[in-house]
């Protein structure tokens, strides 16, 4: 039996790349899909409508939503599209996002504001109505797209990393707020080839980093295969699947008014405070 038979999934940014791969796999596993994307193909056609038509032609069930979800009213209309078309929503995958890479000294306010608007505000605009509906109607699963750039840093991506770090924090809170109502919330840090990176990669690397590999991780997350798990962040690519999490070192104890914790003692105790052996950089996820 298909893993998502009878389920309804909303996927943002699903007109190409990772979002399209998610939509196609979830549709094959029985889910009805609401495809959100504002993009157009080279002929001026709607990417969202193209993907929906392709899914339908292969026996699946899908509809397109082409409005800008960084606007509050369009986040609400995305939920309404799912309810009007399929009567419910069980899965939300917040995948939409953009890049405007520049070092901070060269980063203009417009580049900062646009990335925060698309990557973070749109997640609020979409998730708030869907999350509320799920809480009142038996639960569901939400997957929010973060990035290794947010957790490990990447040169020239202060705006992008800040937005994706916000997504990670947003996810942690929603997992707590949704637990009693059966709403499971994940963060996903995917790595996959894109139209921009494909020319830079060998055919072998393109195959290893195909979006379909990350899509299998998403299917695990939103299906019953993952049980009651919530509040986790997964890194997913063709090369590996691993949980990313915040950890603390042994540290040094605090004390009362007679505590010896001062700047010199801190310097002498660095081996207990820092854990360099467990530190990761973005290069660890791209080699």
The mean pLDDT of 245-252, rounded to a whole number, is 84
- Distance CA(15)–CA(2), nearest Å, equals 23
| Residue of 22, 124, 160, 220 marked active site | 160
End-to-end C-alpha distance for the chain, whole angstroms: 37
Is 22 known to be catalytic? Answer: no
Contact present, 103 and 29 (Cβ < 8 Å): no
Q: Is the pLDDT of residue 8 over 90?
A: yes
Domain layout of the chain by residue ranges? 8-246, 248-287
Q: What is the largest CA-CA distance in the chain?
A: 74
- pLDDT tens for residues 15-69? 999 999 999 999 999 999 999 999 999 899 999 999 999 999 999 999 999 999 9
CATH superfamily name and code, 8-246:
NAD(P)-binding Rossmann-like Domain (3.40.50.720)
pLDDT tens, residue by residue, 181-213 = 999 999 999 988 876 567 667 888 888 888 899
27 exposed, middle or buried (CB, 10 Å; 0-12, 13-18, 19+)?
Answer: buried
């Amino acid at each position: 039996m298909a893993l998502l038979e009878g389920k309804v999934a909303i996927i943002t940014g699903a007109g190409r790349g990772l979002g399209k791969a998610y939509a196609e796999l979830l549709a094959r596993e029985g889910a009805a899909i609401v495809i959100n994307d504002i993009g157009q193909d080279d002929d001026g056609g709607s990417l969202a409508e193209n993907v929906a038509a392709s899914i339908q032609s292969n026996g699946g069930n899908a509809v397109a939503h082409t409005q800008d979800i960084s606007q509050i009213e369009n986040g609400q209309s995305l939920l309404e599209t799912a309810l009007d078309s399929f009567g419910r929503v069980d899965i939300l995958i917040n995948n939409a996002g953009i890049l405007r890479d520049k070092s901070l000294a060269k980063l203009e306010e417009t580049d900062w504001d646009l990335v925060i608007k698309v990557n973070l505000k749109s997640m609020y605009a979409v998730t708030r109505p869907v999350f509320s509906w799920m809480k009142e109607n038996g639960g569901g699963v939400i997957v929010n797209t973060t990035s290794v750039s947010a957790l490990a840093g990447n040169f020239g991506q202060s705006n992008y990393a800040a937005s994706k770090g916000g997504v990670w924090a947003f996810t942690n809170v929603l997992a707590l707020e949704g637990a009693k109502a059966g709403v499971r919330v994940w963060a996903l840090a995917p790595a996959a080839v894109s139209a921009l990176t494909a020319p830079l990669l060998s055919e072998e690397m393109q195959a290893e980093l195909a979006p379909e590999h990350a899509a299998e991780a998403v299917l695990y997350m939103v299906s019953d295969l993952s049980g009651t798990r919530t509040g986790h962040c997964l890194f997913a690519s063709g090369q590996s699947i691993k949980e990313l999490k915040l950890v603390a070192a042994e540290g040094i104890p605090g004390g009362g008014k007679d505590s010896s914790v001062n700047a010199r003692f801190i310097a002498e105790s660095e081996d207990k405070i820092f854990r360099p052996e467990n530190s990761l950089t973005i290069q660890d996820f791209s080699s």
